[in-house]
Chains A and B, each alone.
Chain A
Amino acid sequence: MTKKFKASIERYNPDTDDAPYFEDFEVEYEPGMTVLDALLYVQDKYDSSLAFRWECRGGQCGSCAVRVNTIARIACRTKVDPDADLILQPMQKMPVIKDLVVDMTQTEARIRRIRPYVARDKPPERPEIIHSQDIEILREIRKCIECSACLSNCPIVHETWDYPGPMIIRQLARLELDPRDVEDRVAMAMDEAVYSCTTCKLCEDICPKSIKIPKLAVELLRAKAVEAGYPLLEGQRIFVDSMKETGRSVPEKKTPLLKNLETEEFLVENPVGRVAFFTGCLIDYRMQSTGKALIEVLNRNNVDVIVPKEQWCCASPAFRTGDMETATMCTERVTKIFEDAMDKYDLDTVIIACAGCGKTLQEDHRPLIEEMRGTPPRFKVYDMAEYLVDVVGMDRIVKPTGKLDLKVTYHEPCHLGRGQSVVDQPIELLKLIPGVEYIDDPYKNRCCGAGGGLRAGQRELSMKIAKTKKEYIEATGADVVTTECPFCTIQIKDILKGTDIPCLYMPDLLLESYKKGDEKKAEGKTAKAKAEA
């Protein structure tokens, strides 16, 4: 029997309908079926007036972007999951013409605003000599087919067209990198609010051409801006200056974790593994208890933890804002500290509980060190949830037994999900906790607005994005939201002020359950002892 699934498609003809509505269609599944195939099936079988765009069916033309289960993607290269419902909606930010067809007028106008072509001040030589090595990155970011899906998904564009969005900022970088273009694209990028991007990477994640827009366009333009002498925004500069001087991006308040710990070594009997713990600035200076919780959680899972006393900032704020000098300095320092720890303690794994630091070590430090010395850092980097679930393994994890009666949802930090491909592991950990009812938020992977220097530099815009995030969280009906990034935690706590939804950090929640379990056990023992007595 052929497998069938339900496609819910948003319909809207503004001539006759007051508002959009969903219409459900039953679609026969075929192996390899794409969203475009499903749309064509519906159009052919049920309603030939169903409006959507498509041309090439091969990911070359960029006509068919629609929102598939809330995220815009090109339909012809998105596979259908026959075991789930398929929800199809028009792209956001662009007004609907009919059904899934949106008006691109504003997008086209926005593109034209940046003079999106190679500007020349004299006729070129014919032919022109251009060397491959000069166009390597340019060649990568030039592949854009203007499907506009990234504009629909961009949390900044969602709040304001002041920022032109990933697709268009990419075109600016493409022109900046073109040796033939004579315009001052860096000045233009400043005018086009290049510092508004949170580097959430949703654009890169859904890009049909896998263009690394945050790194190869946004951060590249920012680095060029810094090089050209544009000062960082006030809030961003404080972070960067601080990390240069103290190795920490924020000032000290109460006693830092590293000063507080009496030893570097937290060893267990019969360890299943040994890791070095990279704390990052915020766990060290602001979330000391979370740091301790993580050490304890790892120890309870029979993992030796080494916490090098001397640590340094990963320089995420410098990478994100374009201060490559500071970024390079910190990268070398972090690499040395942990390679020394490797040698001293005979280990090869570094564990991180901060999404931003983890992403920076993996995506930024590795290639930079490799470029500088030919080989990448010698240690492996894991996120804590990834380490527990994938390395310790679900069969060896010591399950927490204390019951926490909570409806819990999860905010996936951008730099964890898309930065390190750690998506399911934190949720698996949550589900281990007895009593926890996990509520999936379809928008869990949307940016909170803190990253990329936005919270530091442009608080107002950052909070607008956070407000949208708050609406998603509230819609889940959960008692608490959990996450795995100190920066997201601070931002979400801020925006949830005045609500009764707390934002909890994963290791804290785990430890709470472990401790509750201990109490229960102890009570049990006492009761047993009493009974025996």
Chain B
Amino acid sequence: MDELPYKTILCDVLVVGAGGAGCRAAIEASRLNLDVIMLSKELIGKAHTSMAEGGYNVSLGNVDPDDDPETHFKDTIVGGNYLNNQELAEILVNDASQRAFDLEEMGALFDRTPEGKIAQRVFGKQSWRRTAYASDRTGSEIMITLVEGIRKESVRVFDEIFATRLLVHDGRIAGVTAIDLKYGDYLVFRAQAVVMATGGAGRIFTVTSNAQLDVGDGYAMAFEAGCDIIDMEMIQFHPTGMVAPESAKGRLVTEAVRGEGGILLNNKGERFMNNYYPEVMELAGRDQVARSIMTEVLAGRGSPDGGVYLSISHLPKRIVEFRLESMIEQFEDAGVDIRDEPMQVSPTAHHFMGGLKIDTNAQTTIPGLFSAGECTGGIHGGNRLGGNALAGTQVFGALAGGNAARFAKEHERTGVDRKEIQKEFNRLEAMLKRKEGISPSVARKELTDLMWSKVQIFRKEEDMAYAVKELKRIEKEVVPNIKVDMPIKRFNPGWHQAIEFEHMVTTARMVAEAAFMRKGSRGAHYRVDGDPNDDGYYNIVIRKGPKGKMKLQKEDLVITKIAPP
């Protein structure tokens, strides 16, 4: 093993990830007078949060005065098919309002009611109009705000840094290894507490709404470090992603389109949701709408490009222009004027309900390691309600940041295992030095196609078995042989992709293994060959066993108020 040079950077609290949750955690921690470093895999402000469109759920009751956290809680649990950790869901619904006000204190501007309060609109599976919004660019509004917030606080932002491994020492978190994407230097960040806010992993699927960096780094790093991971089989396929042109495939078409009155039509012009969920129609749960659309497409009632139609053209143009401005822009690029013409849509891999298992302090099973945002599991159960993710980033971001800071104050920094560090950097270096091997882009395509064809909306036993087998093979045969085409360290996307690949495979395997274990249908996990004897009221927890093996076990649900039927 070569002795590779690296630099060590110290801080008190390290936040890995700079989206909605990461920024909020960093702001919270820095307010407690600690030295905070936030690592961003991209430039600051460019995280996937900026792509969230629809809104932020908060039971303010500004439009429907009868709404309250209790109802928000109930909707969240029922929508999540009772798999949610109810302690966490309670935190979500109770803190959502204060965290929304925090955002406005920092400079956010949600759209208003005539009285000047935050306006709220209807989203799927909600009893009241609860979703606060800024047109259909709510995520962007929140991201812009948090960047303003970060620039006010004393957070040290290290952007374009890619964390590759969590360092654990004496049973506690010690820091991370990382590379500087710009210049390719090896770095070690050491801190008393670390917050994971690395987002999701939509990119393990061929068709996804996610930004290019959402490859599951956090899930894989946490698993490797021995952290418990929960609900990984629960992946939300957003019912409405773009279908054409090819390069825009999978891009999100916000639920706000349906919230504002958009209707789904098949190629016969039938409003087909009437055949599936006549009570709630287009505003059924995201899993339900996604399956309904796929059923229509598979039955040959789809649009020419393999989707269905989503139409908003019956609404006044003025409303569409004010409330769905990004959609107009997005479809204009595709040559469609949504004020007059229907959009073509089909499901797209969107959100991971599962992730790092946390307690009510947002702490994971590794002391000193906290988690917030999409990489965190348990809050949304089997299906996340539209609008609960942005709220979740703020609620759990603040919680994780604050508790990480308190943890950092109460603990000394641990040491680090330098052998482990060298081993990691040698692994990264080997990808550059290898003479023969597999190109990351080829490997990646194989992986994403496997996941998209086998582990998607409609799941069955033999597909799951096949996917698990294939993923084990990829892990054994492809991962150790990944070779970067050009052996350059300075800003080399080929190298970045190569490093990401292992994270993607580990994440994909957790998804497939859990989906294989769960024999019945529940939430977003739909088995066409569902075992009727499996009521599915449990969570699947994954952790690393002896010799690095992936161990899965079923755990009882965490219930505080609402028992499953």
Contact = CB atoms under 8 A, between A and B. Distances in A.
Interface of A: 13, 15, 30-34, 36-37, 43-44, 47-63, 77, 79, 97-99, 101, 103-104, 108, 111-112, 115-118, 120, 123-124, 126-132, 135, 138-139, 142-146, 178, 180
Interface SS, A side: loop
Given A130-B112, A178-B107, A58 B330 contact: yes
Contacts of B98: 126
Nearest to A99: B491
Contacts of A118: 105-107, 148
A104 B118 contact: no
Contacts of A15: 490
A116 B151 CA distance: 7
Given A32-B334, A63-B46, A180-B107, A48 B494 contact: yes
A451 to B, nearest CB: 29
Contact of A58 (B42, B251, B492): B251
Nearest to B442: A44
Given A49-B493, A144-B144, A61 B46 contact: yes
Of the candidates A15, A56, A131, A139, the one having the most CB atoms from chain B within 10 angstroms of its own CB is A56
Contact of A116 (B42, B148, B248, B492): B148
B329 interface: yes
18 contacts: A30-B247, A32-B248, A48-B440, A49-B494, A51-B492, A55-B47, A55-B212, A58-B251, A61-B51, A112-B151, A130-B104, A130-B109, A130-B116, A132-B111, A132-B116, A142-B141, A142-B144, A144-B144
Interface in B93-111: 98, 101, 104-107, 109, 111
Given A60-B137, A130-B109, A97 B491 contact: yes
Interface in B135-172: 137, 139-141, 144, 147-149, 151-152
A33 B244 CA distance: 11
Nearest to B488: A49
Contact of A51 (B105, B107, B137, B491): B491
A129 B116 CA distance: 5
A142 B109 contact: yes
B532 interface: no
A86 to B, nearest CB: 15
A55 B48 contact: yes
Contacts of A55: 42, 46-48, 211-213
A322 B5 CA distance: 57
Given A48-B441, A178-B107, A56 B211 contact: yes
Interface string B117-146: 110000000000000001001011100100
Interface string B433-449: 00000011100000000
Nearest to B485: A48
Contacts of B368: none
Contacts of B107: 117-118, 178, 180
Given A33-B247, A43-B493, A60 B151 contact: no
A118 B441 CA distance: 44
Interface string B474-495: 0000000000111010111111
Contacts of A58: 51, 248, 251-252, 330
Contact of A34 (B50, B101, B247, B494): B247
B337 to A, nearest CB: 15
Contacts of A63: 42-43, 46
B363 interface: no
Given A47-B486, A117-B152, A127-B104, A60 B111 contact: no
Nearest to B110: A130
Interface of B: 42-48, 50-51, 60, 98, 101, 104-107, 109, 111-112, 114-118, 134, 137, 139-141, 144, 147-149, 151-152, 182-183, 211-213, 244-248, 251-252, 326, 329-330, 333-335, 439-441, 484-486, 488, 490-495, 497
A346 to B, nearest CB: 36
Given A48-B494, A60-B51, A145 B140 contact: yes
Of the candidates B485, B492, B493, the one having the most CB atoms from chain A within 10 angstroms of its own CB is B493
B546 to A, nearest CB: 37
Contact of B46 (A13, A62, A117): A62
A21 to B, nearest CB: 16
B211 A61 contact: yes
Contacts of A143: 137, 140
A58 B46 CA distance: 12
A101 B491 contact: yes
A13 B488 CA distance: 10
Contacts of B46: 53, 55-56, 61-63
Contacts of A115: 152
Nearest to B487: A49
Contacts of B60: 127
Contacts of B495: 49
Nearest to B182: A97
Contacts of B493: 43, 48-52
Nearest to A132: B112
A191 B26 CA distance: 31
Nearest to B114: A132
Contacts of B333: 32, 34, 59, 77, 79
- Top 8 nearest A-B pairs (CB, nearest first) are A48-B494, A32-B245, A49-B486, A118-B107, A129-B116, A98-B491, A117-B148, A51-B491
A117 B149 contact: yes
Given A56-B211, A145-B45, 17 more contacts: A34-B247, A37-B247, A43-B493, A49-B484, A49-B492, A55-B48, A57-B248, A61-B46, A62-B45, A63-B42, A77-B333, A97-B490, A108-B44, A117-B148, A118-B107, A130-B116, A146-B45
A128 B141 CA distance: 17
Nearest to A134: B116
A376 B147 CA distance: 41
A519 to B, nearest CB: 52
Contacts of B101: 126-128
A120 B107 CA distance: 10
A60 B248 contact: no
B211 to A, nearest CB: 4
A178 B105 CA distance: 12
A32 B118 contact: no
Nearest to B250: A57
Nearest to A31: B245
Contacts of A62: 45-46
B135 to A, nearest CB: 8
Contacts of A98: 490-492
Nearest to A34: B247
A485 B259 CA distance: 50
Of the candidates B46, B60, B117, B329, the one having the most CB atoms from chain A within 10 angstroms of its own CB is B46
A120 B102 CA distance: 13
Given A47-B486, A48-B493, A55-B211, A138 B109 contact: yes
A61 B248 contact: no
Given A49-B488, A60-B137, A118-B106, A32 B247 contact: yes
A61 B149 contact: no
Contacts of B114: 132
Given A117-B148, A131-B116, A60 B326 contact: yes
A13 B212 contact: no
Contacts of B211: 55-57, 61
B104 A56 contact: no
B338 to A, nearest CB: 15
A54 B51 CA distance: 13
A117 B144 CA distance: 10
A30 B245 contact: yes
A97 B182 CA distance: 7
Contacts of B244: 32
Nearest to B139: A60
A56 B50 contact: yes
A53 B43 contact: yes
Contacts of A47: 485-486
Contacts of A117: 106-107, 148-149, 151-152
A98 B60 CA distance: 48
